[in-house]
Amino acid sequence: MLRSLFGIGPKVDLKQVLAQGAVILDVRTPEEFAQGHVQGSINIPLDVLTQNLHQLDKDKPVITCCRSGMRSGQAVHVLQDHGFTVHNGGPWTEVDQLVKQR
């Protein structure tokens, strides 16, 4: 139940998803993003995500991230509802570590 609430589906190897050319979407505010983010990530705050879906490519998987994983979980639902292949990466710092390990 909680996994679904936070946009966490079946366990997925995010390193593999990154290797497939995934886009990293940070849904924090611009101020939070400016304080630190995953290199190469796109910042579209959760509250304006629906209006900015045109900035994303439906042909590429998306990994969402935020500060704790809650907003990114909500973003997963929004993106799935619009036909995106999407995974919740949780906190941006964890996604950052995955990117640096590549």
Domain of 61: which CATH number? 3.40.250.10
Please say if the pLDDT value at position 9 is more than 60.
no
Determine whether 65 is an active site residue: no
Q: In Å, what is the CA distance from 15 to each residue of 71, 91, 100? A: 21, 15, 10
Residue span of the structural domain in which 19 resides: 2-101
Tens digit of each residue's pLDDT (9 = 90 or more) over 37-87: 999 999 999 999 999 999 999 999 999 999 999 999 999 999 999 999 999
Count the domains in the chain. 1
Amino acid 80: pLDDT: 97
Q: CA 32, CA 57: separation in Å to the nearest integer?
A: 24
Please say if the pLDDT value at position 92 is more than 80.
yes
The helix or strand, by DSSP H or E, that contains position 75, with its residue range, turns out to be helix 70-81
Q: Which tokens hold the place of 44?
A: 């579209």
Of 52, 72, 74, the C-alpha closest to 64 is: 72
Catalytic residue among 65, 66, 79, 95: 66
